[in-house]
Amino acid sequence: MYNFDFVKPATIAEAVEALSGEEAQALSGGQTLLPTMKQRLNAPATLVSLTGIAEMKGVTRDGDTLVIGAATPHAVVARDAAAHYPALAALAGQIGDPAVRNRGTIGGSIANNDPSACYPSAVLASGAVVVTNTREIAADDFFQGLFETALHDGEIITAVRFPIPQKAAYAKFLQPASRFALTGAFVAQYAAGVRVAITGASESGVFRWTEAEAALSGNFTPEAIAGLSVAADGMIGDLHGTPDYRAHLVGVMTRRAVTAAR
């Protein structure tokens, strides 16, 4: 590790001001940032902790929407979202191990946009809105590629607003060492139709499987997508699985998610 300044603001305004400094970086749960700092892959001069900002924590229901503060740990989402959005709570309860779930935050995960992270699939499949200190960003506009998002420099995610679906489920084929998704599928049914988001499979990160959405919107059964598949081109290939294997898992996990949601 190396020397750096540490700031823990109590309000969003204070955090924004601190992040305006040269080489300042936001710190939420630190589950990705701190390991990269230890490896000297990232070297911010100032860490601005978001964990002391009370208005960025908690799970609340607002009509048909579940609002989750960006600094809310996974373990709290797993506990407090269960009565309102069980599929989202179940997803949060599968992330990492107890240490990760008690430190990592939903905002940090979404801002990092790891291609194998779980939360981006829930955000995208739910058609959620990512709220920042300056604006609101629709999920379809937020995720822009591998570790890429629509966030501007110094912009902070303050909350995520999830429309609560009629039915939903997340099916995850996990990599047992990291507990990241080798491939995961989040399926959410709304009055307007079904949304399906896939994580862990594509080199471009989380994506919507629109062909499956169209089929499931007309017939919400696993049989409706039995004949569908995604191309292996652009899928991740590594020691854990080939692109063809991940393309196969997209269909398997989506069918499992539909079965669980029903």
Query: Residue 111: what pLDDT?
Result: 95
DSSP at 136: E
| pLDDT tens figures, 93-102 | 999 889 999 9
Q: Which tens digits make up the pLDDT trace of 201-243?
A: 999 999 999 999 999 999 999 999 999 999 999 999 999 999 9
CB-based contact 212:241 (threshold 8 Å): no
What percentage of the chain has pLDDT greater than the value 70?
100
What pLDDT score does 222 carry? 97
Confidence of residue 27 (pLDDT cuts 50, 70, 90): confident
In the predicted structure, residue 157 carries a pLDDT above the cut 90: yes
> What pTM was estimated for this model as a whole?
0.94
pLDDT greater than 90 at residue 150: yes
Residue 128's pLDDT band (cuts 50, 70, 90): very high
Token output for 6: 């540490």
pLDDT computed for residue 18 by the predictor: 87
Mean per-residue pLDDT, 167-194:
94
Q: Pick one of 3.30.200.20, 3.30.43.10, 1.10.3720.10, 3.40.190.10 as the CATH number of 5-49.
A: 3.30.43.10
- Find the farthest-apart pair of alpha carbons in the chain and give their distance in angstroms, rounded: 57
Of 31-45, 66-80, 206-220, the one with minimum mean pLDDT is: 31-45
- If one compares 118 and 29, the residue with the highest pLDDT of the two is 118
| pLDDT of residue 251 exceeding 70 | yes
What are the domain boundaries of the chain?
5-49, 54-163, 167-261
DSSP summary character for residue 165: P
Give CA–CA dist 241/180, Å, rounded: 13
Reply yes or no on whether the pLDDT at 31 is more than 80.
no
Tell which CATH architecture fits domain 54-163: 2-Layer Sandwich (3.30)
Does the fold of domain 54-163 match that of domain 5-49?
A: no
pLDDT tier, 34 (very low <50, low <70, confident <90, very high otherwise): confident
Q: Hey, what are 1's tokens?
A: 């590790």
Determine the pLDDT at residue 1: 60
What is the C-alpha separation between 99 and 76, in angstroms, rounded? 13
Spatial distance between the Cα atoms of 69 and 74, rounded to a whole number of angstroms: 11
Distance from C-alpha of 43 to C-alpha of 66, rounded to nearest angstrom: 35
Are 48 and 26 a contacting pair, CB within 8 Å?
A: yes
Classify domain 167-261 at the CATH topology level: Enolase-like; domain 1 (3.30.390)
The two counts, helices (H) then strands (E), for the chain are 10, 14
Give the ranges where 22-137 is alpha helix by DSSP (H).
33-38, 74-80, 86-93, 98-103, 106-112, 119-126
